[in-house]
Amino acid sequence: MKKFIFLFAFCITVTNIFAQTDPNQIKKEGNDAFNAKNYPVAYAKFSEYLKQTNNQDSATAYYCGIAADEVKKYAEAVTFFDIAIQKKFNTGNAYARKALALDALKKTDEYVATLEEGLKVDPNNKTMVKNYGLHYLKAGLAAQKAGKAEEAEDCFKKVIPLNHKTYKTNALYSLGVLCYNDGANILKKAAPLANSDADKYAAEKEKADARFKEAVDYLEEAAKISPENENVKKMLPQVKAAMK
């Protein structure tokens, strides 16, 4: 009788162990925790489930990435979003969330590269458009303040292809101002040549006019997109006057 009781108890123990480690049960517990916004438990369950199933479940990998992000496990979040991307699950949002995790890790170059890759796949993803546009608008303004005009120009140009009215208008306006300022500086430096070397002055004036023309083109494009923009309305006549 004692042997029978021992054997019965052993069978119950083994059954419980298998029940606890059953992948489908672990996934269910993860889903329940995620839906209850219990992200630490959701992350633990999802990551264990994915480990047992060799990362084959792309949807669970995506939600595991979200749970990891919520508990500030950003490096792990990147790993799980990569799985979702590779398996083409909710790809645009997976790229967007991966980028945000990289930003939290202060990996700026990887953050920008991920946004660029993601926008090729999902060019209208609002999160990626917003973050990519803001990144380069801020970078352009910072470069402009630091006197790095060429760097600023490159940054603003990266914003133009985005499907975002405000960001595109701001980038075009900023490019118009940059080109106008460059043309004005060329003329200012050339001013002493007006009386001493007419040919040199004419050559510099031609360079300045070319920059003014670029400014007009950018500003006119901005005006088409945002005809109500007051900054564009004021700047365009000023640039055209400089070309006379």
Please report whether residue 7 resides in a domain: no
Residues 117 and 192 in one domain: no
Number of domains the chain contains: 2
Residues 38 and 143 in one domain: no
Other CB atoms within a 10 A radius of the CB of residue 62 amount to 23
Please report whether residue 84 resides in a domain: yes
Other CB atoms within a 10 A radius of the CB of residue 158 amount to 18
The residue among 174, 181, 103 whose CA lies nearest residue 141 is 174
Please report whether residue 11 resides in a domain: no
Residues 112 and 137 in one domain: no
The residue among 229, 173, 108, 153 whose CA lies nearest residue 116 is 108
Domain boundary among 88, 122, 156: 122
Residues 29 and 107 in one domain: yes
Residues 236 and 162 in one domain: yes
Domain boundary among 97, 122, 147: 122
In this prediction, residue 89 carries a pLDDT of 98
In this prediction, residue 244 carries a pLDDT of 77
Please report whether residue 6 resides in a domain: no
Please report whether residue 68 resides in a domain: yes
In this prediction, residue 147 carries a pLDDT of 93
Domain boundary among 63, 92, 122: 122
Residues 90 and 152 in one domain: no
For the domain that residue 46 is a member of, what is the CATH number?
1.25.40.10
Residues 227 and 156 in one domain: yes
Residues 84 and 164 in one domain: no
Which residue do the tokens 């006057």 mark? 241
Greatest Cα-to-Cα distance within the chain, rounded to the nearest angstrom: 120
Q: Can you give the residue range of the structural domain that contains 182?
A: 133-244
Mean pLDDT, contiguous 10-residue spans, the chain (244 residues): 41 42 94 98 98 97 98 98 98 99 98 98 98 98 96 98 97 98 94 89 94 97 97 94 84
In this prediction, residue 15 carries a pLDDT of 41
In this prediction, residue 228 carries a pLDDT of 96
Using CA atoms, how far apart are residues 156 and 179, in angstroms rounded to an integer? Answer: 12
Residues 150 and 238 in one domain: yes
